[in-house]
Structure 1
Amino acid sequence: MARLPAVSRAAAGPLMKLMYAYAKRQFGEVPEPFAVLAHHRKLFTAAAVHEGMANRAANVLPAAVRDLAVYRVAWVVGCSWCVDFGSMLHRLKGLDEAQLREIADYATSPVYNDDQRAAIAYADAMTSDPTEITDEQVADLERRFGRAGLVELTYEIGLENMRSRTYSALGITAQGFNSGDACRVPWAGQST
């Protein structure tokens, strides 16, 4: 259960009710982060606009590269909601769900190509604290994806770090958007 209660539809203002209806139509139910962020209408609106714009702008990288890097961040941070929702999005885009089940072994698993491995390793380097990015890693990613692709990958990984850490801090957990093994998350102190 989230550390803050969700704002119910009955308690939501007119704008929130519209956003709830849109989200329910899009995803089958209102994502809990929407309902928790609704406690701060202006930040909720800013986040919704930002997410929409970022989603439309992120079109340089192949989805199979970008989405795996984003999923890895959620998995490493341990945000079960982000893993759950990300698994659903991965499936709906027709991407390889076997890759989600193999994410712990991305460096050696045959289900990944070299571009995907490089992007996932970058996600790990950006998510570590302190970050562990090297000049060689950035140069390699620029060669693979171009400057715009590198910026997109960096931005999307940073955005998922913000999402995962925010939702984890607020105690928002898996909501059941996706079922199966892909949603298993290694929590701090547990082995993978």
Structure 2
Amino acid sequence: MARIPAVTAKQANPLVKLVYWATRRRYGAVPEPIAVFAHHRRLLVAGAKHELAVGRGAKTLPVSLRELVVYATAVKLGCSWCVDFGTMLIKHEGLDVDRLREIHVYQSSDKYTGIEKLALAYADAMTDTPVTVTDGQVAELDRRLGHRGLVELTYLIALENQRGRFNSAFGITDQGFTSGDACRVPMP
């Protein structure tokens, strides 16, 4: 239960009801962060536009790397809602959910490639407070991913930091999009 109540469908204006309908159709339920965001309709609309634009624009990196760093950032922040939702997205992309069990030991795990380990270390460093990113990390990732890929990676990690901190501040916890390894939401 969030620290402030979610806007119910009964309380929602027509625009919010439309957002709820679209998210319920896509995910099987209204994500609780959206129902909390609904208290501020302009920010709800801005956030929805932003998320859609990021989804359309972030296509430089392989989906597996994008989803992995977002998931790892959520884990590091301790955002159980983001971990729950991220696991569902990873499963829906057809990616290996089992390797997420080794996310805490990615440095020594054989489940992750060299570039994934570099990106995960970068996500850790970006999520540290204060940020501990080094010149060496940026240079190596730039060499491997190019400027465009590095900007995308950095943006996605920063965005997940924003999402996770928003959810944590409001006490939003996992919503049950996954149940263990079995996703409760049907594949799109």
**Residue identity opposite 1:141 in structure 2:** L
String of CA shifts for 1:44-71, please: whole Å, max 9, x gaps: 1100000000111000001111111111
Task: Assess if the C-alpha contact under 8 Å between 2:119 and 2:141 holds in 1.
Answer: yes
Answer yes or no: is 1:61 the counterpart of 2:48.
no
**Residue identity opposite 2:94 in structure 1:** G
Counterpart in the other structure of 1:77? 77
Counterpart in the other structure of 2:175? 175
Counterpart in the other structure of 1:114? 114
String of CA shifts for 1:103-153, please: whole Å, max 9, x gaps: 001001111000110110000000001111111110100111111000000
Counterpart in the other structure of 1:186? none
| RMSD of aligned alpha carbons | 1.0
After superposing the two structures, state which structure 1 stretch, 173-182 or 133-142, moved more: 173-182
Counterpart in the other structure of 2:186? none
Counterpart in the other structure of 2:136? 136
Counterpart in the other structure of 1:104? 104
Counterpart in the other structure of 2:145? 145
In the superposition, the TM-score normalised over structure 1's length comes to 0.93
In the superposition, the TM-score normalised over structure 2's length comes to 0.95
Task: Assess if the C-alpha contact under 8 Å between 1:98 and 1:111 holds in 2.
Answer: no
**Residue identity opposite 2:174 in structure 1:** A
**Residue identity opposite 1:101 in structure 2:** R
Counterpart in the other structure of 1:190? none
Counterpart in the other structure of 1:40? 40
% identity of equivalent residues = 56
Task: Assess if the C-alpha contact under 8 Å between 2:97 and 2:181 holds in 1.
Answer: no
Q: Secondary structure at the match of 1:124?
A: helix
Task: Assess if the C-alpha contact under 8 Å between 1:101 and 1:181 holds in 2.
Answer: no
Counterpart in the other structure of 2:161? 161
- Cα distance in structure 1, aligned partners of 2:62 and 2:108: 21
- Cα distance in structure 1, aligned partners of 2:71 and 2:84: 10
Displacement after TM superposition at 1:158 (Å): 0.2
Q: Secondary structure at the match of 2:178?
A: coil
Query: Which aligned segments of 4 or more residues in structure 1 are displaced greater than 3 angstroms?
Result: none
Displacement after TM superposition at 1:181 (Å): 6.2
String of CA shifts for 1:89-114, please: whole Å, max 9, x gaps: 00000111122111001001111000
Gaps of 5+ in 1: 183-192
Gaps of 5+ in 2: 183-188
